């Protein structure tokens, strides 16, 4: 559905520039690996658990094994060859991990890599088969219970820090109308270089993403899906230093959507750009395979920058996310490209500007389920004003055909949402969708009118910014270093996690990448 | 003291002295007459009498949400209200720059960060970023200030180290996450670490965030606490008052 007449030549040029700007990033990702990518390989092969001896027993075996391989033979060959070479005389991954724990494991690169390759491929294929089975199972459950009766899907967040508190809250939210449940992660998790293990009850402002937490929540939502006759989707975050591993855990536990942005970690968390881009490509390949819808993080630009002046940076980021996602094998229906209702309500015509921006995204990405994010920056303690603003946000979502609507809370910036806040917010959404959900059928902005002109202006500014990015010799990587995104400068050699990146040697082997090569779309 | 002299007041609905308030809350009881009775009992204990439950609805089967209107018995004595008035003049960016240039005679070095696990840089960014907040430019805009924003999840030892290395005059820390009072715990840790590492030589410590009580500075061991809605201009003005000598050096 596109109601704006976008300039076809400008759109074509925007996509061409985005692909050019992203090309160095793709090259980088193809020629490097990271500790987290290699740990993801071991997770796919079934290695779980933590070293009970080290620290407080929180360090996963996958970290111990990858670190040991890196110490002994380097990371540049990938871990598959040395690990499965070490298993050539039998034994399993867990036993090998315990040898690492005891300090007795010895790793080397085999002269004849073929046996280790075959064994590694077979082991990783079991994880891949589980991801495929989960995708098929999701399709079955959607066929059985049904999709939500309308668009946008209603997306609601729970975040208590305790998975056992999250579960009843998530089930209550689904019963109250939520189609998608997102479990926000504990604030510190994106900068942890390991994935915590097991069911957790002690997160800050969110609950740790762990394989077991994923499993528990998915099972709880399956239960409530059957009760409601509607498949309730589960979302988490494949971001931060462990993005590839979390993507794998999501595939293994049948999560349905993952937050996964190409640049968010770099710009907002100061994670090293190389690390991010390598991890990013691998995680997106996993999401493509798992049939997971990604949600990108463009809304974040507008929480730090002005939503009118910087509107074009959202468009640029959406185009970059799109091109990088396509390259990794994601199909359009898997691209929950983000944008947000963050214009200062005191700005004259703010609602018309919001409509223009939302329609531009809709027109540029007609087949993507856009992720529409509620106001946060201009939510104050005035909960009554906030409730009204959320109503307008909901109306804009309905009017512009958004795919996924994150429910805004009137107590944003005041408290973590109360039971009643969520209930009132859902009533707001229901009212708007029932009263005006089909208004998009009647809504055609005047050609050459305010909305049409504004969308054209933003697209033009986006193309200009893309030109500046594509003109850099290292494309996006150098552009980020130069502060082109306005928010901050991030050098390719700065930030957290660079020491976990290695350039691949000629004999490097990653069975997961090989198996992911045949991506179904 | 009497109601008529204006220092004792009551809430205002539509008539002076009517004492009307509106409140809403949720009780863990199924909806129905018993739930409304429970809401009235709570309202009465809150001093709302008579109270009217003007709206209630169930949230799921185990909870009921209420909107209550009514008149409170309480009186407010304005003479007994004490607030921290701003103890320094509010300056324009030009005045701030002039004060630093003529009276400090060097750049004022400001370091900002979010500490602990808090990844919400919105607060510190609003104060420091050029873009600013509420129509006011951030401290990066002030020519005479040398500003470094270390961003999110900076550890306290890192911050102490950076403050020393850069000879910071002031360290600004924002805290948004308040779950389990993390903001208060982190602030005490911050104050303790600077006291231990630098003693009297420590930079001015300023914290801010939406859930801080500005009266808590002494208790938390910092120099100044800013609450919700603080603008860059207020922070800049405070820094001048606290760090720049009142008179030009001789």
3-state SS record for A148-171: CCCCCEEEEEECCCCHHHHHHHHH
Asked whether the beta carbons of B148 and B206 are under 8 A apart, the reply is no
Q: What pLDDT score does A486 carry?
A: 55
Dihedral over alpha carbons B53, B54, B55, B56 (to 10 degrees): 10
* pLDDT tens figures, B66-120: 999 999 999 999 999 988 778 899 999 899 999 999 999 999 999 999 887 666 6
CB-CB neighbors (< 8 A) of A269 in chain B: 119, 152-153
* Distance in angstroms (rounded) separating the CA atoms of residues B95 and B90: 9
3-class SS of residue A230 = coil
**In terms of DSSP bridges, do strands A501-503 and A404-406 run parallel, antiparallel, or are they unpaired?**
unpaired
* Distance in angstroms (rounded) separating the CA atoms of residues A347 and A109: 63
Question: Would you say residue B129 has pLDDT above 80?
Answer: no
User: Does residue B40 sit in the same domain as residue B123?
Assistant: no
3-class SS of residue A489 = coil
Q: State the complex-level ipTM.
A: 0.85
Contact A270 B152 (CB under 8 A): yes
Q: What pLDDT score does B175 carry?
A: 84
Last residue of a domain, one of B57, B79, B101: B79
When divided into structural domains, chain B yields a total of: 2
Task: Please state, as a whole number, how many other Cβ atoms lie within 10 Å of the Cβ of residue A67.
Answer: 17
Catalytic residue among B45, B131, B137, B180: B131
Question: Would you say residue B201 has pLDDT above 80?
Answer: yes
User: Does residue B72 sit in the same domain as residue B143?
Assistant: no
User: Does residue B9 sit in the same domain as residue B52?
Assistant: yes
* Distance in angstroms (rounded) separating the CA atoms of residues A441 and B115: 49
User: Does residue B65 sit in the same domain as residue B177?
Assistant: no
CB-CB neighbors (< 8 A) of A202 in chain B: none
**B84 CA: distance to closest CA in chain A (Å):** 21
Asked whether the beta carbons of B122 and B230 are under 8 A apart, the reply is no
CB-CB neighbors (< 8 A) of B118 in chain A: 187
Q: Is residue B106 part of a domain?
A: yes
Q: Is residue B97 part of a domain?
A: yes
User: Does residue B121 sit in the same domain as residue B67?
Assistant: no
Question: Would you say residue A394 has pLDDT above 60?
Answer: yes
CB-CB neighbors (< 8 A) of A188 in chain B: 117, 119, 153
Task: Please state, as a whole number, how many other Cβ atoms lie within 10 Å of the Cβ of residue A198.
Answer: 15
Question: Would you say residue A158 has pLDDT above 60?
Answer: yes
Q: Is residue B84 part of a domain?
A: no
Last residue of a domain, one of B18, B50, B79: B79
Confidence of residue A521 (pLDDT cuts 50, 70, 90): very low
Q: Where are the domains of chain A?
A: 1-31+238-373+444-501, 32-123, 147-227
Q: A–B: how many Cβ contacts below 8 A?
A: 59
Point out the residue among B25, B177, B229 whose CB comes nearest to the CB of A187: B177
Q: What is the CA radius of gyration of chain A?
A: 23
CATH of domain A1-31+238-373+444-501: 3.20.20.440
* Distance in angstroms (rounded) separating the CA atoms of residues A346 and A351: 10
Residue B204 maps to which CATH number? 3.40.50.280
User: Does residue B221 sit in the same domain as residue B132?
Assistant: yes
A490 compared with A293, residue with greater pLDDT? A293
User: Does residue B47 sit in the same domain as residue B143?
Assistant: no
Q: Which residue of A has its CA nearest to B62?
A: A172
Which range of residues forms the domain containing residue B207? 93-243
Contact A187 B151 (CB under 8 A): no
Q: Is residue B71 part of a domain?
A: yes
Q: In sequence order, which ranges of A32-113 are alpha helices (DSSP H)? A: 35-44, 61-73, 80-86, 93-102
User: Does residue B100 sit in the same domain as residue B70?
Assistant: no
User: Does residue B183 sit in the same domain as residue B211?
Assistant: yes
* pLDDT tens figures, A46-56: 999 999 999 88
Instruction: List residues in chain B touching A: CB distance below 8 A.
Output: 24-26, 59-60, 63, 65, 117-122, 125, 129, 131, 151-153, 177, 179-180, 182, 210, 228-229
Contact B117 A186 (CB under 8 A): yes
Q: Is residue B138 part of a domain?
A: yes
Q: What's the average model confidence in pLDDT over B56-62?
A: 92
User: Does residue B180 sit in the same domain as residue B209?
Assistant: yes
Residue B24 maps to which CATH number? 3.30.30.60
CA distances from A423 to A217, A497, B65 (A): 21, 41, 9
The answer to whether residue A420 neighbours chain B at the CB level (below 8 Å) is yes
User: Does residue B112 sit in the same domain as residue B22?
Assistant: no
Q: Is residue B157 part of a domain?
A: yes
A426 compared with A413, residue with greater pLDDT? A426
Q: Is residue B132 part of a domain?
A: yes
Q: Is residue B249 part of a domain?
A: no
Question: Would you say residue B2 has pLDDT above 70?
Answer: no
Contact B129 A304 (CB under 8 A): yes
| pTM assigned to the model | 0.85
Question: Would you say residue A433 has pLDDT above 80?
Answer: yes
């Amino acid at each position: 559905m596109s109601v704006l007449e976008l300039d076809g030549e400008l759109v074509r040029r925007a996509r061409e520039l985005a692909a050019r700007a992203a090309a160095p990033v793709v090259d980088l990702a193809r020629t490097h690996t990271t500790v987290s990518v290699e740990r993801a390989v071991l997770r796919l092969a079934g290695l779980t658990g933590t070293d009970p001896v080290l620290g407080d027993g929180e360090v996963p075996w996958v970290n111990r094994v990858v670190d040991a391989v890196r110490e002994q033979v380097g990371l540049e060959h990938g871990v598959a060859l040395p690990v499965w070479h070490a298993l050539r005389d039998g034994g399993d991954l867990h036993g090998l991990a315990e040898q690492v724990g005891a300090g007795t494991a010895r790793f080397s690169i085999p002269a004849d890599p073929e046996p280790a390759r075959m064994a590694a491929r077979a082991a990783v294929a079991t994880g891949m088969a589980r991801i495929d089975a989960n995708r098929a199972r999701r399709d079955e459950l959607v066929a059985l219970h049904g999709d939500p009766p309308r668009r946008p899907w209603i997306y609601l967040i729970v975040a208590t820090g305790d998975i056992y508190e999250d579960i009843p809250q998530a089930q209550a939210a689904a019963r109250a109308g939520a189609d998608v449940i997102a479990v926000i992660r504990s604030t510190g998790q994106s900068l942890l270089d390991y994935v915590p293990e097991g069911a957790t009850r002690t997160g800050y402002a969110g609950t740790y993403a762990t394989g077991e937490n994923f499993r528990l929540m998915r099972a709880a939502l399956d239960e409530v899906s059957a009760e409601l006759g509607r498949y309730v989707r589960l979302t988490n975050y494949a971001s931060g230093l462990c993005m590839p591993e979390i993507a794998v855990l999501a595939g293994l536990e049948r999560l349905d959507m993952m937050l996964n942005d190409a640049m968010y970690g770099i710009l907002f968390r100061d994670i090293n750009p190389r690390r991010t881009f390598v991890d990013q490509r691998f995680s997106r390949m996993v999401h493509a395979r798992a049939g997971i819808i990604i949600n990108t993080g463009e809304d974040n630009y507008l929480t730090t920058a002005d939503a009118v002046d910087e509107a074009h940076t959202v468009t640029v980021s959406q185009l970059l996310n799109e091109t990088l996602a396509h390259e990794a094998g994601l199909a359009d229906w898997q691209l929950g490209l983000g944008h947000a209702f963050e214009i200062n309500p005191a700005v004259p015509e703010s609602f018309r500007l919001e409509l223009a921006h939302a329609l531009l995204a809709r027109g540029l990405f007609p087949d993507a389920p856009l992720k529409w994010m509620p106001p946060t920056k201009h939510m104050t303690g005035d909960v009554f004003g906030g409730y009204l603003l959320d109503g307008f946000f909901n109306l804009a979502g309905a009017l512009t055909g958004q795919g996924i609507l994150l429910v805004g809370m009137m107590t944003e910036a005041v408290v973590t949402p109360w039971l009643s806040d969520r209930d009132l917010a859902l009533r707001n959404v229901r009212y708007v969708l029932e009263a005006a959900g089909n208004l998009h059928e009647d809504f055609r902005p005047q050609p050459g009118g305010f909305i049409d002109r504004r969308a054209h202006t933003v697209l033009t500014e986006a193309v200009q910014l893309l030109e500046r990015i594509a003109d850099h010799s290292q494309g996006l990587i150098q552009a980020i270093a130069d502060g082109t995104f306005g928010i901050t400068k991030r050098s390719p050699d700065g930030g957290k996690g660079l020491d976990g990146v290695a350039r691949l040697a000629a004999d490097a082997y990653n069975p997961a990448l090989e198996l992911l090569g045949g991506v179904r779309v | 003291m009497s109601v008529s002299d204006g220092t004792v007041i009551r809430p205002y609905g539509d008539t002076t002295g009517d004492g009307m308030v509106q409140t809403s809350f949720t009780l863990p009881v199924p909806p129905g007459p018993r739930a409304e009775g429970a809401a009235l009992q709570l309202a009465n204990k809150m001093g709302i009498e008579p109270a009217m439950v003007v709206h209630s609805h169930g949230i799921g089967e185990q909870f009921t949400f209420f909107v209550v209107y009514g008149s409170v018995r309480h009186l407010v004595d304005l003479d007994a209200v004490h607030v921290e008035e701003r103890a320094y003049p509010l300056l324009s960016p030009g005045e701030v720059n002039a004060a630093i240039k003529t009276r400090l005679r060097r750049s004022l070095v400001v370091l900002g960060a979010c500490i602990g696990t808090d990844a919400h840089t919105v607060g510190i960014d609003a104060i420091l970023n050029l873009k600013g907040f509420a129509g006011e430019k951030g401290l990066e805009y002030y020519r005479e200030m040398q500003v470094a924003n270390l961003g999110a999840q900076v550890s306290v030892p890192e911050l102490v180290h950076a403050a020393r290395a850069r000879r910071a005059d002031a360290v600004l820390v924002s805290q948004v996450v308040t779950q389990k009072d993390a903001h208060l715990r982190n602030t005490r840790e911050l104050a303790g670490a600077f006291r231990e590492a630098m003693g009297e030589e420590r930079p001015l410590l300023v914290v801010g965030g939406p859930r801080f009580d500005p009266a808590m500075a002494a208790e938390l061991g910092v120099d100044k606490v800013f609450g919700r809605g603080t603008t860059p201009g207020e922070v800049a003005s405070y820094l001048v008052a606290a760090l720049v000598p009142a008179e030009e050096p001789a």
